[in-house]
């Protein structure tokens, strides 16, 4: 029943996104490639201050073309479903939590009471980070990259949508790192000392992950690394608090 309600919430939101397609496409999906997009304007303004024109991104937007008869229609449906998944995530996680919750002890329910809120918050923060930071950088790098002046970039609609959707969803998932650490600590797989011991290894992992979800330029990868480092440190604090509460409960019991 929980899975049906989750599926229903995705479909309802997807239908709404399908109806209001002008907002979804013009104001959201296609926005990162336009000069008026917030991030693009900030980078261009900063480039003038430091006299570094190369920092100005997406000042010359590329053309997006559709080469398939049903291309725009299928893309319309795909984007609507993606919007449904993103916007319905809090409800999906709530349904998942409602399914798992009866199997937990009373004290465990109390410790994880904010799981739905914090998971949803981190996911949405990740989506916003992906949309306002990773997406415009990816669009600029990949859309303006050229191996020859004889080749013009005319980006296929499906290719553009897929690229933007991937980086946004990947960013949302990656921002769930503190939640993952919380649950791994609860089941005894990680401890604060373990996380501190392998901090250097985690830095390498974060660098590799940043290279996967960002375009292959050093600036974008470094920019993405900072919030991931921060989330890892937050995870260490969370892990420490989880163990401290478990120790206190054990002493009380």
Burial of 150 (0-12, 13-18, 19+ CB in 10 A): exposed
Asked whether residue 198 carries a pLDDT value surpassing 60, the answer given is yes
User: pLDDT value at position 217?
Assistant: 66
Asked whether residue 206 carries a pLDDT value surpassing 90, the answer given is no
pTM above 0.75, yes or no: yes
pLDDT over 70 percentage in the chain: 87
Asked whether residue 82 carries a pLDDT value surpassing 80, the answer given is yes
CA neighbor of 29 nearest in space, from 121, 148, 162: 162
Question: Which are the contacts of 55, defined by CB distance < 8 A and separation ≥ 6?
Answer: 43, 44, 46, 47
**Which pLDDT tens digit goes with each residue over 55-71?**
899 988 888 898 888 88
**What mean pLDDT do residues 192-208 have?**
84
**Which pLDDT tens digit goes with each residue over 138-162?**
888 888 878 888 877 788 998 899 8
Query: Is residue 59 classed as helix, strand or coil in its secondary structure?
Result: coil
User: pLDDT value at position 111?
Assistant: 54
User: pLDDT value at position 180?
Assistant: 87
How far is it, in rounded angstroms, from Cα 130 to Cα 141? 15
Structure tokens at 54: 């190369």
How far is it, in rounded angstroms, from Cα 216 to Cα 121? 28
């Amino acid at each position: 029943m929980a899975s049906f309600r989750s599926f229903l919430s995705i479909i309802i939101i997807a239908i709404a996104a399908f109806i209001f397609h002008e907002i979804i496409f013009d104001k959201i999906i296609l926005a990162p490639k336009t000069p008026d997009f917030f991030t693009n304007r900030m980078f261009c303004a900063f480039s003038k201050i430091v006299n570094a024109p190369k920092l100005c991104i997406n000042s010359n937007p590329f053309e997006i073309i559709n080469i398939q008869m049903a291309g725009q229609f299928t893309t319309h449906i795909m984007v609507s479903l993606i919007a449904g998944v993103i916007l319905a995530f809090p409800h999906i996680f709530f349904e998942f939590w409602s399914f798992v919750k009866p199997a937990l002890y009373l004290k465990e329910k109390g410790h994880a009471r904010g799981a739905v809120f914090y998971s949803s918050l981190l996911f949405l923060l990740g989506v916003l980070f992906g949309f306002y930071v990773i997406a415009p950088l990816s669009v600029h790098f990949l859309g303006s990259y050229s191996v020859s002046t004889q080749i013009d970039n005319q980006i296929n609609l499906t290719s553009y949508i897929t690229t933007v959707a991937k980086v946004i969803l990947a960013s949302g998932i990656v921002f769930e790192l503190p939640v993952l650490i919380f649950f791994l600590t609860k089941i005894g797989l990680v401890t604060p000392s373990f996380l501190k011991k392998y901090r250097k290894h985690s830095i390498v992992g974060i660098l590799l992950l940043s290279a996967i979800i960002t375009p292959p330029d050093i600036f974008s990868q470094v920019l993405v690394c900072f919030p991931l480092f921060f989330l890892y440190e937050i995870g260490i604090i969370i892990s420490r608090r989880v163990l401290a509460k478990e120790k206190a409960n054990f002493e009380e019991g």
